[in-house]
Structure 1
Amino acid sequence: MSNLFRALQRPLATFLSASQQVTKRCYAAPLKRFYKQTSVLYNDGKYEVTLDNRKLKTPNGKLFTVKSEPLAIAVATEFDAQKEHIERSKMHLSALCFTAIDNPNRHTKTDMVNYLLNYIATDTVLFQYDDEKDLHDLQRNEWDPIIKWFNERYGTNLEKTMVISPPSISADDKMNVSKYLLSHSEDVLFGFIFAVDTLKSVVLAFAAIDQRISVDKAVSLARLEEEYQLKFWGRVEWAHDLSQQELQARLAAAVLFVHLNRSEHFVKEKSIV
């Protein structure tokens, strides 16, 4: 079953990924770098980023503020790494922060959780292919252990499908995953969605965020069928390598965004006694 065919099986998503939204809305043309230095400020319990003496703002004009000092430093580092022009389409952490702050489509926590729950039935690793033994063996050896881990970790009973029809996801499965997701803030859920959209897989995204597998491994597993087919059809080195590196950069940003938005990664100002 080709990746294109699987994509056609998915319903039209009403929830655009963070980078897609920001890119379409604001990043049509490269912007010349207009600042020399970046820094991070602490103000009223939150962290801000400055470009020279200008406070960073979102595409919608809101003041950029985050609760996590490491996240603010990471965003400032993205801006500091820009050269003559600002390549904002590659600044995934900044894009995620902007989308979480602006929330341009006004999505609620429930909207985001439902999006992720509905995605499970189209998860890449749950669609396997038994018409070609070598590919099936590869999928079974590489994907099945992650599916098993996911079921044990989140109390689900997800089962793969060997046919065109999507797997059946029980109400109990959705409830267990929903409880886990709802325990997070809205900001964190934007990171989950960015990771899932990057990998086309809830199972792999959760495994990467939980640090069960590395970012590189998660991308490799998401591209498993494509890499298998390339052995027969040939590989355009620069194109396929660039695609893989882009996925790794996007996923790394999503994983970092989730972890730095969790409360244990906030750095709070110490009170003076």
Structure 2
Amino acid sequence: MSEWKARRFWKSASVGQEGEGWRVTLDGRPVMTPGKHPLILPVRALAEAIAAEWDAQDDVIDPEAMPLTRAANSAIEKVSPQFGAVADMLAAYGGTDLLSYRADGAAELAARQATGWDPLLDWSARELDAPLAVTSGVMPVGQDPAALARLRERLDSLDPFELTALHDLVTLPGSLILGLAVFYGRLTAEEAFALSRIDEEYQAENWGHDDEAAEAAANRRIAMLNAERLLGLLRS
């Protein structure tokens, strides 16, 4: 038996104001989240981009081709009702941040890491008032609790849609600092992705490329670019 797939049932998607937010409709019928919550967007630009995702669907609906819709669903159904828990989870990345851990015994790799990552740690110390310690090897390094608390406070100032975008910018590279650098415009998502790949690129140069790893990396890159686009729409 073939797997059932949802099919397009509407002719056109449109956008209309709903209180202080914006709603997407399909032939006048409001779009709902999978959990049947109203899909209300905070800014018109995001609503229009989501409407365009729906209009771009062919006969069979492809959720993977609708990253903004999926992000909005997550913001409404998952992030908003458990904002504190999500913020706590992202803040925890500061305690084990990728940028704090340098190669031990591979001088060339350690030099690449220092060149790419030290400016971001300097930025965190200067602009975020959150200096992080650096170590060589994999043994955990303790971080200043006050610095981690200041990073956590940054997350409290976000709204659920911003925190949803930040989620992929932090979890995919494994670095709260890289995610915040994109959020505050210090880096592009493309730059953050490249900086998160220093170790992997070094290993590939020395041991050869792995097709599965390359595909997984490409998917992470696309997800980070989509998160950056979501931020841009929220600020438009």
Pairwise same-fold verdict (TM > 0.5) = yes
Bigger relative contact order, structure 1 or 2 (CA pairs below 8 A, ≥6 apart): 1
SS of corresponding position for 2:14: strand
Report the TM-score when normalising by structure 1: 0.77
- RMSD value over aligned CA atoms? 2.3
Aligned to 1:190: 164
Letter in 2 for 1:87: D
Q: Which residue of 2 aligns with 1:75?
A: 50
Range that drifts further, 240-249 or 182-191: 240-249
- For the Cα contact (< 8 Å) 2:117–2:195, is it kept in 1? yes
1:253 equivalent in alignment to 2:226: yes
| Worse-matched range after superposition: 227-236 or 58-67 | 227-236
Q: Can you give the 5+ residue segments of structure 1 that lack an aligned partner in the other structure?
A: 1-27, 266-273
Q: Does 1:63 align with 2:63?
A: no
In 2, Cα distance between the equivalents of 1:195 and 1:177? 15
Q: What does residue 167 of structure 1 align with?
A: 141
Residue 100 of structure 1, aligned match among 47, 68, 75? 75
Pairwise mapping of residues 80-229 of structure 1 onto structure 2 (< 5 A)? 80-103=55-78, 106-107=81-82, 109-229=83-203
Structure 1 range deviating more: 154-163 or 46-55: 46-55
- Residue 150 of structure 1 deviates from its aligned partner by 1.7
The alignment covers a number of residue pairs equal to 234
DSSP-derived class of the 1:85 partner = coil
CA deviation after TM superposition for structure 1 residue 48, in Å: 0.7
After superposition, the C-alpha distances for 1:176-223 in whole angstroms (9 at most, x for unaligned) are 112222122233222222321122111111111222122211111112
**CA distance in structure 1 between the partners assigned to 2:175 and 2:66 by the alignment:** 22
Shift of 1:235: 2.6
Q: Classify 1:195/1:29 alpha carbon distance in 2 versus 1 (closer, same or farther; 3 Å).
A: farther
Aligned equivalent of 1:15: none
User: Structure 2: which 5+ residue stretches go unaligned?
Assistant: none
Taking a change above 3 Å as real, the CA distance of residues 59 and 180 of structure 1, as seen in their structure-2 partners, is same
Deviation at residue 104 of structure 1 after TM alignment: 7.6
SS in 1 for 2:48: helix
Are the equivalent residues in 1 in contact too, given 2:90–2:171 (CA < 8 A)? no
**How big is the shift at 1:154?**
0.5
TM-score calculated relative to the size of structure 2: 0.88
**2:50 is the counterpart of 1:43:** no
- Note if contact 1:30-1:88 (Cα within 8 Å) is conserved in structure 2: no
8 Å CA contact 2:79, 2:164 repeated in 1: no
Structure 1 residue matching 2:24: 3-state secondary structure: strand
- Aligned identity (percent) is 25
